[in-house]
Chain A
Amino acid sequence: MNVCIKKLMVWLSLWALVGSALAEPFAPGGAIGSQTDDGYNALGPVVEQPFEFPHNVHAGQMGINCMYCHTYARRSAVSGIPRLDKCMGCHKLIESVKDKPRIKKLFEYWDKKEPIPWKKVHDLPDFVRFNHERHIQRFYFREKRSIRETCGYCHGDVASMTTARRVKALSMGWCISCHQKEHLENASTTKTSNGPNDCWQCHK
């Protein structure tokens, strides 16, 4: 009898483990808030930026295309963090917000002639090769989806955040789950294909 219960317990705990392992990559936003002492949450390290950049104002209220600042996304593996003169190109001319604390901070860096030390939020392991160009070319330029949707697959709805944070798992199983789906090849066709299934496409 005792053995029987023990066996049952082992099976139950095993199933619980399997269940949690399966559920984890697709965990909803609830777990994100809980941060451990070493600066990690369920999705990876929590990154503190030098100051709060309001994506919600730029991409949300103003409706600026992500690629206006993240210029390289459409033609390179990395999307790029804009240079300070990109910020200043507009903000030199926008008088109405010049007294706001965040803009003052921006001008401080400009006067010191120093770049803003932005931290990387969506940092993949070194053995992974992710290419922005391929995804942007496919979904934004060929399939003509909106930029908010295209970038949002991996970055979440950045237009509703201030500084960007990780909201997707960015794990291999999560990538594969999308690569296995059928996607339209371009906007004017019903032909579909899925993402590459070969290790060396992403691993290097």
Chain B
Amino acid sequence: MSLSNLIKNWSSLRVRRPYEGQYKGKDYKWAMVIDLDACTGCNACTTACYAENNLPVVGKESFAKGQAMHWIRIERYWGPGDHMTEEFPQRGAQFLPMLCQQCEAAPCEVVCPVGATHHTPDGLNSQVYNRCIGSRYCSANCPYKVRYFNWWQYPERAWPNPLELQLNPDVTVRSKGVMEKCTFCVQRLTEAKNRARTENRLVADGEVTTACAQACPTSAITFGNLANEKSTVAKMWQAHQIKLASDVQEKDDTVRGYRIFEDLRTYPSIVYLEQVRDLEA
């Protein structure tokens, strides 16, 4: 960044966020809605993510040490009751797919000592692998624990010849010592934006989706462009009375939408729809 450019574009580079109407008139703001009522905890999203984003399967031992590389994981919560003694509590488990929340005020971005993670104009938290030095500060600062570190040189272990042929060429194969995270399938977004740009239009609603949303058998995950008010995602955000730039949502009791750890003021881009449960029974 040259000094003249810095001075000239100071107002656009000195980003203040989030604020109401931040993405008004902008082309894209990628966001997601996950309906927990529809989620069956089948793990299809995780599998799809492994295939799409070249995630290494680390093996049992590393998994036990907490070194698994799943960018989207299914968290399981047992309901009320004595789940320590019962193998299958009466109400069953609740599932919650946890992936990078693409926060508008991301705690991970501000602590990176080398600027390997930053905010894109589309509202994503980007991670630039070749810039990352592996300080792991971002992971320590992430309240959702959705950043994953390459403790080993996985490519040779995870994809012995000829398995490397199934790797996605549009996604970097990460090497030892770098941090990685969910990208909202940025390779797909880039491709869709490129196609739209050549045709002199914007990406249409439903034209592009993430691998997890695509694989979900119950369509629990909805992905789209929040800057487009007519998109499915924007309508769902509106219906559930969630505002991107506020940390306390003023909404009715009748709507199910919420964002995780909103009080930490991370302003996530993912809205979860609460599971409907009959607590009386």
A197–B121 alpha-carbon span in the complex (Å)? 10
Report the contact-size class of chain B (Cβ under 8 Å from the partner): 20 to 34
Cβ contacts under 8 Å, B198 to chain A: 75, 133, 137
Mark out the residues of chain A between 126 and 148 whose CB falls within 8 Å of any chain B CB in the assembled complex: 126-127, 129, 131, 133-134, 137
Cβ contacts under 8 Å, A131 to chain B: 194
Given A75-B198, A134-B197, A137-B198, decide whether A199 and B170 contact each other with a Cβ distance below 8 A.
Answer: no
Count of A-B residue pairs with CB < 8 Å: 50
> Is there an interface contact between B128 and A199, defined as CB atoms closer than 8 Å?
yes
Task: Say which residue of B126, B170, B183 sits within 8 Å of A129 (CB atoms).
Answer: B170
A131–B170 alpha-carbon span in the complex (Å)? 12
> Is there an interface contact between B172 and A180, defined as CB atoms closer than 8 Å?
no
Query: Chain A residue with minimal CB distance to B189?
Result: A200
| Interface pairs A-B: 4 shortest CB-CB | A200-B126, A127-B172, A199-B128, A203-B128
A129–B193 alpha-carbon span in the complex (Å)? 14
- Is the CB of A204 closer than 8 A to any CB of chain B? yes
> Is there an interface contact between B5 and A126, defined as CB atoms closer than 8 Å?
no
Cβ contacts under 8 Å, A75 to chain B: 198
Count of interface residues, chain A, beta-carbon cutoff 8 Å: 19
> Is there an interface contact between A180 and B121, defined as CB atoms closer than 8 Å?
no
CB proximity of B131 to chain A, nearest CB, Å: 8
> Is there an interface contact between A200 and B124, defined as CB atoms closer than 8 Å?
yes
If A200-B190, A204-B170, A204-B172 are given as contacts, then 18 extra A-B residue pairs at C-beta distance below 8 Å, sorted by A number, are: A75-B198, A125-B130, A126-B172, A126-B173, A127-B172, A129-B170, A131-B194, A133-B198, A134-B197, A180-B5, A199-B120, A199-B126, A199-B131, A200-B126, A200-B128, A200-B186, A203-B126, A204-B190
Can you list 6 A-B pairs with a CB-CB distance of less than 8 A? A129-B170, A180-B5, A198-B126, A199-B118, A200-B126, A204-B171
CB proximity of B28 to chain A, nearest CB, Å: 12
The interface of chain B, by Cβ under 8 A from chain A, is 1-2, 5, 118, 120-121, 124, 126, 128-131, 170-173, 183, 186-187, 190, 194, 197-198
CB proximity of B191 to chain A, nearest CB, Å: 8
> Is there an interface contact between A180 and B171, defined as CB atoms closer than 8 Å?
no
CB proximity of B173 to chain A, nearest CB, Å: 7
Cβ contacts under 8 Å, A77 to chain B: 194
- Is the CB of A35 closer than 8 A to any CB of chain B? no
Query: Chain A residue with minimal CB distance to B171?
Result: A204
A176–B171 alpha-carbon span in the complex (Å)? 22
Cβ contacts under 8 Å, A176 to chain B: 1
- Is the CB of A171 closer than 8 A to any CB of chain B? no
> Is there an interface contact between B187 and A198, defined as CB atoms closer than 8 Å?
no
Cβ contacts under 8 Å, A203 to chain B: 126, 128-131
Query: Chain A residue with minimal CB distance to B5?
Result: A180
- Is the CB of A13 closer than 8 A to any CB of chain B? no
Mark out the residues of chain A between 155 and 204 whose CB falls within 8 Å of any chain B CB in the assembled complex: 176, 180, 197-201, 203-204
A131–B195 alpha-carbon span in the complex (Å)? 11
Query: Chain A residue with minimal CB distance to B2?
Result: A180
CB proximity of A126 to chain B, nearest CB, Å: 6
Given A133-B194, A133-B198, A137-B198, decide whether A198 and B121 contact each other with a Cβ distance below 8 A.
Answer: yes
Which one of B2, B129, B170, B194 has the greatest number of beta carbons of chain A within 10 Å? B194
Cβ contacts under 8 Å, A201 to chain B: 190
A198–B126 alpha-carbon span in the complex (Å)? 9
Task: Say which residue of A127, A137, A198, A200 sits within 8 Å of B130 (CB atoms).
Answer: A127
Given A125-B130, A199-B126, decide whether A204 and B194 contact each other with a Cβ distance below 8 A.
Answer: no
A99–B129 alpha-carbon span in the complex (Å)? 52
> Is there an interface contact between B121 and A127, defined as CB atoms closer than 8 Å?
no
CB proximity of B128 to chain A, nearest CB, Å: 5
Query: Chain B residue with minimal CB distance to A129?
Result: B190
A28–B130 alpha-carbon span in the complex (Å)? 27
Query: Chain A residue with minimal CB distance to B12?
Result: A197
Query: Chain B residue with minimal CB distance to A125?
Result: B130
CB proximity of B189 to chain A, nearest CB, Å: 9
CB proximity of A186 to chain B, nearest CB, Å: 11
A11–B235 alpha-carbon span in the complex (Å)? 61
